[in-house]
Every structure is written in structure tokens, then in C-alpha cells.
Structure 1
Amino acid sequence: MKILDKAVCIAVMFTFCSAMSFAQIRINDPGRVVERQAENRANRKVDQAVDKGFDSVEQGIGNLFKKKEKEKKDAENKGNASQDNKNADASNAEKDKGSETAETPPKTGKPTLKSYSKFDFIPGEKVVAAEDFSQDAVGDFPAKWNTNSSGEVVTIEGTEGKWLMLGPEGVFYPEFVTSLPENFTLEFNLASTSEFSFYTGYFRAVIAEVGNAAKDFTKWKSFDGEKVNGMEIALHPKNAGGTEGLSAYNIFSDTPANSLMKNEKSFPAFHAPDHNVVKVSIWRQKGRLRMYVDDFKVWDLPRAFNPETKYNFIAFSSKDYQADDRYFISNLRVAVGAPDTRSKLITEGKFSTTGILFDVNSANIKPESYGVLKEIAGVLTENAAVKVKIIGHTDSDGEESSNLALSKKRSEAVKQALAKDFGIDGGRLETDGKGEAEPAGLNTTIEGKANNRRVEFVKM
């Protein structure tokens, strides 16, 4: 009997190992994941032996989005091609990578400002809605959201902060977004489990007008031809050929010109071979839509938004899930207004931006800050006699003395970036930091903290 019991335990552990190798899930709440897998696969209770077996298995899984070792080696071999084959490799890279050229290095490792040299996204002037799920407990559905499905807040190894894992067959919307002007930006991080099935439905980002969100939000499960006011952008981790990457399939919109804009594009989306995580940035300027995935500009459409639609609703949805597939979203941010860098810095003498972003508790500038830095550098280049003081600000999280030191380091990092990457004479730039001493908003809200984490440029 003991031999039989051991055999049963080994068989169960093998089943879970196979399942985890397929979905490659590494969420920092393994007990809940085991329960979910057990319900999906066998509808039976997970006993103590399986728990212990899973604890051993998870050590070898790595992070949530780890690809197969073979894929990693292929990527490394591709990046380490010999000098004799440089021209051939450059030609192949241009075909495989879409928008990348022979002069653009493959997107391996952590992206840099230089790798974002074609990124021209500039976030709105003031953050009016933000969500990082910091106020929600892991395992709960977020308090400020609504859905007709299920979901829960999770943490993912290898990434910062918390994520909302979307349940199947439903719509998920932040109840705190109730108005969207004719100029705004929407940003969020999107992730999926690796080994993602092509047969799982698209991830859909919705920007729409609804009369009663609590009643009408379910209409946006998918755009099925029903008369609704708004647009839906469809994304999927794999393109029609089933290759690695991410595809933007369609834009459904209620614009008079096009009820369905077919703009399917496949493109290199992942910066590292072991992370299925991308940043989506959407920019509305009246009727115009620009959309980016990481540094790749997917669409630039002059008449995507309907001028007659009063957009007041944002949501995310998907349907037709395969069992182990999941989408995750994090770091949602809505900002309004069209920043006028030239006028404010030159005429008014002061320009403040929340669009220069840094790693947590660090002075390392995130590459998606490139568009803002480029805009500021352009103003300084056109006005060669102007000198500015760069002043860093933080929110009130952490020690006051640490925040002061961090704000000074961040302003110095901005100075170095302008000098090194944009050719601005460092002698024209002074730096300072105020830490948390001069808040622009309340430090008790996510939006207030986002507005407090800013960089000011003051004309001297």
C-alpha cells in the first residue's frame, strides 16, 4: 500500500508539473493557483502530498512568463551572429522584426532611452485617474472596479507591484473613470501567460460612451454589431501564424467613416525573451488616435474617434478563454490636457511634467520617458540662449530625507540624459530637488501621488 500511495503522489505531482510547464504560471500565491488548476482539471480536492509536490516543482519554474530554454538559446544565438554574417543577419532581422532596421539592435535585455528613439508619445498634462491595486489585498477583486465575470489581484514574480488577473468571459471596468475629454492619454501594462493559445479570444480595450455604466457595461463583452457608442481595440499575444509576438487585430469604432477599421498588424512587442509584458499607450487628440505597444507605433489614425460621442467609459474584456490562458493588467493611468512645452517654458517660464518616469526608489529613467525628453530638448535646441533649472519632486511615501535625496538624484539623471542623449550643453542646466516638500496634489490618493512625482523645468 505504501508503494501504491507513493506512486499515486508521483503521478499527481507529474500532472501538476505538466500543467505548470504549459501555462508557466508563477503567481506569488501558489496555494490559490493550485486550487484553480485542480478545479479546472479534475474538480477534486488537492491533498497535502500534492501541496508539497507543487512547492518542489515551483522552484524550477522560474517567473510567470519564462519561455522554453530552447527559445532562449535561439534568441541568444540570433543575437550573437558572427561579423561575417552581419549583413545577412541584418536583413533577416528586418524581416522578422517588422519595424526594426539593420541599425536597430534586437530587443533583448532591458530597454534603454536609445532603444526608444522613435517613440513620440507624450502623456497628458494632469493625471486624473490611476490604478496600481496597492490598496487591494492579493486574492481579492479590486474594490474600485466592477465586472460580470471574476478576477483577482495577484503579484507576479519578476515584475513590480500588483496586477489584476482577468477572469474568463467578461467585462472589467474602473468605476472611477467617468469623463474623458477630447484630449487625453490612456496607459496600462498588459501581460499574458506564456504558451498562450491562439484560440483564446482577443484582449479588448474599450473607450466608449455609456448612459449608465453599472447597467450598460456588459454590452462591451465584444463588439457584435449592436448600436453602441465608442471603440474597441483588439490585441492578442500571437499573430495569425502562431509565431511569437503580439498582434493588434482590429479597431471597431462608431465613426461615420468606418464601423470596422481592419488594421491588422503583427510586430515585435517583447523586450526580453522571458517576459510577456508590454506597455500599451493610447493618445487621443480630438478625432485622432495614436496607439503604441512599448515603443512601436501601431496606429496613427486621424478620424478614429467620433466627435459626436461623449466618451466617459473605459473597460477591458475578453471571451473564449482556453483553460490555462489569462490576461493581466496593471498601472492604469489616465491623463488629460495637451502639454504645451514651448509656450509654458519659454513664455511662462515654467514647465512641469509627470511624463518622465523612474524605476521605483531609483533615479533610473524609464525608456517610455523618451517622448517628453525629446520635446523638452527640442525647445532648448530652438532657444539656445535659455538656461533652465531641473527640479525633482516625489510623493510622501518613505522617509522625508530619502525622498529629498532621491529627488536630487532624479533631477541630475534628467540633466545627464538631456546632455548625453540629446546633445544639450550641460552648462545650460542646473539641478535641484524638493523631495515631498511641495506637493501638487494629495498624497492620500493614487492620482495625487502620480501628480506629485514630477519634474519641473524653470527658466533662469
Structure 2
Amino acid sequence: MKNTAIKIFATVLLSSSFYYSEAQTLRGIGKRLGQKPEQFIDKKVDDISNATASQSQPTVTNSASQNGPFENLQGLKYDYVRGTEVVFEDNFSADELGTMAQRWTSNGRGSVSQVSLAEGKWLELFDGNTYKIKDLVRIPENFTIEFDVLALSDDKHQFRLDFGFDYQKGVGNHYYLAKHNPLNINASYWFNRFEFHSKEVTPNKNSEVKANMSYFANDVMKVKIRVEGNRMHTYINEYKILDTEMVDPITKKYFYLAFNNDDKTAKIYISNFRIDKI
């Protein structure tokens, strides 16, 4: 009994010393980050508690309980599953810096670049330009598409990125009004929303998801789309923002990106693009 009491006392003493040392370290970090030490420590304790809790139970992402940048999501669970057969993949690793990506085309220009915020190579998109895959890539009836977007902007965020599908392979001119295409998603950093437009279903569909788009500025935004039959699922980072009938499965589809920018200091890039057949 005496030995047991000594062991318990030693354990408590060691734990106290550890947490005191950890707190002192966190105070120093908090000061360097310009935060009050107490606020920084509270945040780290919460982070540690959350991490411990996540180890003891399955991880479930539910937008109803954690809306993050989105205002009006209603319980759409993150359930993305990538297709099983690669149709097209490009991370621009084979391209020279400062040149247009070899496997892509546009009505004007693009430039393969490196950025300080993320690894690898990225294709810089320019205002008033629409981009498509140059190769003759016929998207399967059931498929997934993934790509990363990196938008750099100090404060204005006056730009938007459209992406979607049309029936033409090449790019003759820029899609200023991309919503007139068969299927379009407009990520508007300017007006803080995602807009979905489809002319492939009857009646035509229009949907809007409000979002704090500054959440996605100066960071990587991961876009994932899964199409099965006439149903399209769209995911932004860990959030599912669309799940409804949007697609005519028998039509041919060519993917495009269209960039419009009124914030001349802003830059936007894409990378890690892939299409997979389901």
C-alpha cells in the first residue's frame, strides 16, 4: 500500500512538471504569435482535447454541426469516394516554369509557376481566360474530378472562378458568362458564394451556397466532384455543398475553368488535377 501511494505521488509530480513546462513553452510561442498567452494555451488545450477525443471514436464530418465557412448547409455528410480508374492526371511537374502547360489550352495565356505557400508546380490563370485540357479526353458517364485551387489576394477578393462542362473540345473565346454553359459552378470570392447552374436537366436547376470566401483566400481549396448517372455531388475541402440531379449522363462533356479578376493584385493557380472513372 505504501509503495502504491509513492507511485501515485510520483506520477502526479511528473505530470505536474510536464504540464508546467508545456505551459511555459506555449506562453513563449503565444507571445511570438502576438496572442495573449492565456488565449494561446486555451486554444492548444482545446486542440489536444479534441485530438484525444478523435482517437477514441470514429471521425465523422457533418456540415450541420460544423459549417465552417458555409452559412446554410444542412447536414450533408462528407462521403467523397474517388473513382477507381485514372482517365487524366496532371500536376505540371513535366512543364517548364514560365510557360503554358503542355497538356492545356486557353484563349490567351497561362504560366506554370511555383508558389511559396504550397509545394509542386501550379498553373497560373489569367483574367479573361478560359482553360481546357488540350488532349482529346472524353469524360466517362460516371466519374470523379479533383483539383486544387490557390487564390492569393491581400484584401479585395474581387474575382471569381467558374468551372464546369460544355460540349466543345477547344477554347475559341473566354466564357465571361459561364453560367450559360450546360453545367457551371461559380466560386465567387467577390460575392461570397458558390452558384450552380445546369441546363442538362428539366427544369433547369440553379442553386446557391453562401460562403465566407476569405476562408479560402491565401490557402489551398480542394475541389472534388463526383457524378453518377444524373446526380452530381460537389465537395469543397471537407464540406459537401451539393447533392442533386444536375447532369444528363448521355451527353459528351469537356471540363473548363474560366477566370475573371477585377482585383489586379490577386493571383489564382490550379494544380493536382485528375479525372477518374467510377
TM-score with structure 2 setting the length: 0.69
Q: Offset at 1:80? A: 3.3
1:359-398 superposed matches below 5 A: none
Amino acid at match of 2:164: V
- Does 2:184 align with 1:235? no
Partner of 1:299: 242
Relative to structure 1, is the Cα distance of residues 119 and 79 closer, same or farther in structure 2, using a 3 angstrom cutoff?
A: farther
Looking at structure 2, the residues matched to 267 and 177 of structure 1 have their Cα atoms a distance apart, in angstroms, of 36
CA offsets per residue over residues 139-182 of structure 1, 9 Å max, x none?
11111111112221111124121000101111011112521122
More helix by share: 1
Partner of 1:124: 83
Amino acid at match of 1:329: I
Looking at structure 2, the residues matched to 129 and 315 of structure 1 have their Cα atoms a distance apart, in angstroms, of 14
Looking at structure 2, the residues matched to 144 and 72 of structure 1 have their Cα atoms a distance apart, in angstroms, of 45
Query: What SS does structure 1 have at the residue aligned with 2:138?
Result: coil
8 A Cα contact 1:255 1:304, kept in partner: yes
Query: What SS does structure 1 have at the residue aligned with 2:154?
Result: coil
Higher relative contact order (CA 8 A, sep 6+): 2
Relative to structure 1, is the Cα distance of residues 106 and 171 closer, same or farther in structure 2, using a 3 angstrom cutoff?
A: closer
Partner of 1:277: 220
Looking at structure 2, the residues matched to 268 and 170 of structure 1 have their Cα atoms a distance apart, in angstroms, of 21
- Does 2:275 align with 1:316? no
Relative to structure 1, is the Cα distance of residues 105 and 78 closer, same or farther in structure 2, using a 3 angstrom cutoff?
A: farther
- Does 2:99 align with 1:99? no
Relative to structure 1, is the Cα distance of residues 258 and 234 closer, same or farther in structure 2, using a 3 angstrom cutoff?
A: farther
Q: Which runs of 5+ in 2 are unaligned?
A: 1-32, 46-61, 70-76
Amino acid at match of 1:259: N
RMSD, aligned CA: 3.4
Q: Offset at 1:276? A: 1.6
Partner of 1:332: 273
Relative to structure 1, is the Cα distance of residues 106 and 73 closer, same or farther in structure 2, using a 3 angstrom cutoff?
A: farther
CA offsets per residue over residues 265-285 of structure 1, 9 Å max, x none?
3168959xx952111000000
Q: Offset at 1:208? A: 2.0
CA offsets per residue over residues 387-424 of structure 1, 9 Å max, x none?
xxxxxxxxxxxxxxxxxxxxxxxxxxxxxxxxxxxxxx
User: Alignment length, in residue pairs?
Assistant: 223
Q: Offset at 1:231? A: 0.8
Relative to structure 1, is the Cα distance of residues 310 and 183 closer, same or farther in structure 2, using a 3 angstrom cutoff?
A: same
- Does 2:165 align with 1:207? yes
Q: Find the partner of 1:218 among 173, 179, 187.
A: 173
Amino acid at match of 1:173: K
8 A Cα contact 1:79 1:106, kept in partner: no
Partner of 2:201: 256
Q: Find the partner of 1:155 among 107, 114, 127.
A: 114
Partner of 1:80: 42
Partner of 1:176: 135
8 A Cα contact 1:198 1:238, kept in partner: yes
8 A Cα contact 1:269 1:294, kept in partner: no
Relative to structure 1, is the Cα distance of residues 269 and 82 closer, same or farther in structure 2, using a 3 angstrom cutoff?
A: same
Partner of 2:93: 134
Amino acid at match of 2:231: R
CA offsets per residue over residues 308-362 of structure 1, 9 Å max, x none?
5222x1111122432111211000010002xxxxxxxxxxxxxxxxxxxxxxxxx
